[in-house]
Structure 1
Amino acid sequence: MTDLSKANDKLEGSYFKSEFKKWAHEKSEFMERLDALEDFEMDYSAFAACFSSDQDNLGQWRAYAGDGRGFSLGFDLGELINIHNSDYSSDGDEVVLVEQRIEQQKIVYGEIPEEAFEEIKSATAIKAFREGGWSTLFTEKDIQLVKDYYKFKHKSFLDEKEVRVLRLASSITETDIVVDFQGGRLISRIEVGFQRQDRCALKRICIGPKSRVDKETLRAFLKRLGLQHIEITQSLAPYR
């Protein structure tokens, strides 16, 4: 999972807020609540692993898979989430801290519905902020509102048909944040395993339209890794 502030969409997280500010205009009670939630964001970053609901999309092959020479990996996101969240449970308890929990989001593109803006009224952070203890009194509802910022994207990304898993993490207290140097930038990420004992979230692999790897070679490679259960398909895109 990668820090969304380094994503190729420069409006990640800020698209909702910019549209909200246009809508709220002179509604001061809304703006105060948004300001309080932004105080929470100062301590936390959003990390996500991004997927597409279309496993054989030519635009995706071109943009994210070596111009069609790579592979499309098909995950069961419900299983992926369960594996991750169980890793953060204590003593087998299924209760996970809300900041550590990852959850699935289906991206909404373009115009943001007014009811999404109305949800800001339910934020309780502003009350805690006025009492002088807001940093320790954010509720789970407030944290969920911050997470929801990230499910809205500009309509120009519509073709990606994105579904993601998202997690908030504090750069101060989190111990599993890894920093890599990529493309001249420092990129923060959190590793998410897709296997746990007899459970595996990886279900399918689609071979890209320009890949030089054939099904049998890939199947033999996966068998060596103990992943012989994975379904292998070939892209139908006539791209060369």
Structure 2
Amino acid sequence: MNKKIRFSDINMMNDYQEERWGYRVFELAVTNILNDELLQKKFPSLNEAFFQKVDEIIAPLQLLLYPVISCFSKDPDVLSQWRAYADDGRGFALGFNGVALNSMPVTLLEVEYDQKIQIEEMKTALLAAHIRNLESGNDFGSQFRTDCQLIGAWKVGFKNSAFREEKEVRSLHMLDVCVDGDRPRLVDAGGEALGKEVNGEQVGYRVQDGAIIAYVDIPIPHLDNAPLIQEVWVGPKNINGIGNIVYFMSECGLKDYAIHQSKASYR
């Protein structure tokens, strides 16, 4: 068992609105702020010129930092997910240790599906960026750029409410867009894990349904006395017995996990 998690190009997920949805939330939040008389009176420089500066960083962000994600769910037993992601109910769902996932060079984002809340959260982030910029002398310097890049990256935590039942938590990792001679390439520069800088991994490419998808496999750090897999859920059409699971997991060096059978009466 490699003990790695695959992170794939966010633009190639099953939700074709992935990046566009978050940008639309940004636009709605800006409109809301510009129409808020109290905010405009309190912060006169919170104007179209300021948001143009923000947009100049957010809109082309993928030309500098390219998001790859791995998707999880807080609910282990949802029929639509068994059908869509687990071989039509014949597969397994693994319950990962959250501490282990959070120890990787990633950002964990609990997806928000309510657009009103999305807009409020975006407004708060934009207002904070504006205040920090004022405190630094309204210089639109490195701190402002960092704040905008974070807003641009973390907006992938907003999704269409039609996906609400997935109760998704997504793990986000950013690749660098580098120019090697005259060739633009995606490069993993690594990041911080358990307080230490870790090296990046090789970026790979796979083909699925005719689409070329960039990915990177990131190792999960070893944690003492903390099992990597805490639960194994058996799909409603899964024919494996307990022994099949136990022997396989043991071969992978995994123990101290609970086994659950899906309650979905699906065949």
Question: Normalised by the size of structure 2, how large is the TM-score?
Answer: 0.72
String of CA shifts for 1:135-179, please: whole Å, max 9, x gaps: xx7754333212221111011000111011111111424262221
Structure 2 partner of 1:35 = 56
CA distance in 2, matches of 1:42, 1:195: 29
Alignment counterpart, residue 175 of structure 2, candidates 169, 173, 178: 169
Task: Say whether residues 1:13 and 2:19 are aligned partners.
Answer: yes
The answer to whether structure 1 residue 190 and structure 2 residue 194 are counterparts is no
1:32–1:138 distance in 2 versus 1, CA, 3 Å: closer
Q: 1:191 to 1:138 in 2, by over 3 A?
A: farther
Q: Is the 8 A contact 2:57 2:148 kept in 1?
A: no
Moved more, 18-27 or 49-58: 18-27
Give the fraction of aligned pairs with identical amino acids, expressed as a percent: 26
Whole-angstrom distance in 1 between the partners of 2:27 and 2:119? 14
Q: Which of the residues 110, 114, 127 maps onto 2:140?
A: 127
- State how far apart, in whole Å, the 1-side matches of 2:29 and 2:55 are: 12
Residue 101 of structure 2, aligned match among 77, 80, 84: 80
Shift of 1:53: 0.5
State the secondary structure of the residue aligned to 2:66. strand
Cα distance in 1, alignment partners of residues 241 and 164 from structure 2: 31
Q: Is the 8 A contact 2:89 2:235 kept in 1?
A: yes
Aligned to 1:110, which of 91, 114, 118? 114
SS state at 1:169 partner? strand
- Label 1:66 to 1:126 Cα distance change in 2 as closer, same or farther (>3 A): farther
Taking the aligned partners of 1:231 and 1:35, their CA distance within structure 2 comes to 49
Matched length: 216
User: Which residue among 243, 247, 251 is the counterpart of 1:220?
Assistant: 247
Partners in 2 of 1:77 and 1:197 — Cα distance? 11
Which consecutive unaligned segments of at least 5 residues does structure 1 have?
85-100, 129-133
Give the structure with higher Rg (CA). 2
| 2:160 alignment partner, one of 134, 154, 161 | 154
Distance 1:118 1:54 in 2: 29
**Aligned mates of 1:16, 1:67 — CA distance in 2:** 30
Match of 1:45 in 2: 66
Structure 1 stretches of 4+ moved >3 Å: 123-126, 137-140, 197-200
Moved more, 218-227 or 35-44: 35-44
Q: TM-score, normalised by structure 1?
A: 0.80
Distance 2:92 2:161 in 1: 26
Query: Is the contact between residue 57 and residue 149 of structure 2 (CA under 8 Å) also seen in structure 1?
Result: no
The residue number in structure 2 matching 1:87 is: none
Structure 1 residues 20 and 236, CA, compared in 2 at 3 Å: closer, same or farther? same
Kindly state the Cα deviation for residue 32 of structure 1 after the two structures are TM-superposed: 2.8
- Conserved? CA contact 1:109–1:154, under 8 Å: yes
- CA deviation map 1:57-88 (0-9, x unaligned): 11110111111000001111221221x2xxxx
Structure 2 unaligned runs (5+)?
A: 1-6, 35-46, 179-186, 189-199
The answer as to 2:76 corresponding to 1:70 is no
Q: Give the RMSD, CA atoms, in angstroms.
A: 2.4
Question: Is contact 1:203–1:230 with CA below 8 Å preserved after alignment?
Answer: yes
Give the alignment partner of residue 145 of structure 1, picking from 143, 148, 151. Answer: 151
Structure 1 CA distance for aligned equivalents of residues 164 and 243 of structure 2: 35
